[in-house]
């Protein structure tokens, strides 16, 4: 079985601008995220991102925009020697209907657990919102709440 750290995207991996981030020019990786992910890999963890992208439902951007940004992010990580196992995102928004995949729901985490045979006893979720912690709890994994846009390594050192 695999051990995984699930990461929220905006506010944990990249700067949360308090607006939707879908353009590469607006994407800024937070301090020490790459180094923290390297440390996680050295400890045998794999990395999966779980992110709500409700701007798609609102018509602000589309799936192609999100995929382009995610490919850019994966490229940056890969060049630094960090592998992202998968990125799951919910394109829905509560203002435009209900869905099962949007955090605080745990469906995307559960989907990853089933697909990648993840050991929930040693895996955890780092997020900056209560909805991230709710998603972790719903999937029976440990949630670690951090302050939005904070230093990744400082947070990580508290958990390991």
The pTM of this model reads: 0.96
Answer yes or no: is pLDDT of 150 > 90. Answer: yes
Q: For the chain, what are the domain ranges?
A: 4-159
Per-residue pLDDT tens over the stretch 12-49: 999 999 999 999 999 999 999 999 999 999 999 999 99
pLDDT, position 97: 87
Judge whether residue 160 has pLDDT over 90: no
Residue range 70-123, pLDDT digits in tens? 999 999 999 999 999 999 999 999 999 889 999 999 999 999 999 999 999 999
Residues 4-159, CATH architecture = 3-Layer(aba) Sandwich (3.40)
DSSP 67: H
Q: Which residues contact 149 (CB under 8 A, 6 or more apart)?
A: 11, 15, 16, 30, 128
Using CB atoms within 10 Å of the CB of residue 121, give its burial: 0 to 12 exposed, 13 to 18 middle, 19+ buried.
exposed
Q: Is the pLDDT of residue 6 over 90?
A: yes
120-129 confidence digits (pLDDT tens):
999 999 999 9
Evaluated on CA atoms 147, 34, 9, 26, the torsion sign reads positive
Distance from C-alpha of 85 to C-alpha of 77, rounded to nearest angstrom: 11
């Amino acid at each position: 079985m695999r051990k995984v750290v699930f990461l929220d995207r905006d506010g944990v991996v990249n700067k949360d601008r308090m607006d939707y981030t879908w353009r590469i020019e607006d994407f800024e990786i937070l301090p020490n995220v790459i180094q923290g992910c390297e440390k996680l890999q050295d400890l045998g963890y794999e990395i999966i991102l779980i992110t709500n992208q409700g701007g798609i439902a609102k018509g602000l951007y589309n799936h192609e925009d999100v995929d382009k940004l995610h490919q850019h992010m994966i490229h940056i990580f890969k060049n630094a020697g960090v592998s992202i196992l998968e990125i799951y995102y919910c394109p829905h928004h509560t203002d435009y209907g209900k869905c099962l995949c949007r955090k605080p729901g745990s469906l995307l985490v559960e989907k990853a657990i089933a697909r990648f045979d993840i050991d929930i006893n040693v895996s955890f979720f780092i997020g900056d919102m209560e909805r991230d912690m709710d998603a972790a709890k719903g999937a029976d994994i440990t949630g670690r709440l951090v302050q939005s846009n904070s230093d990744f390594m400082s947070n990580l050192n508290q958990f390991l």
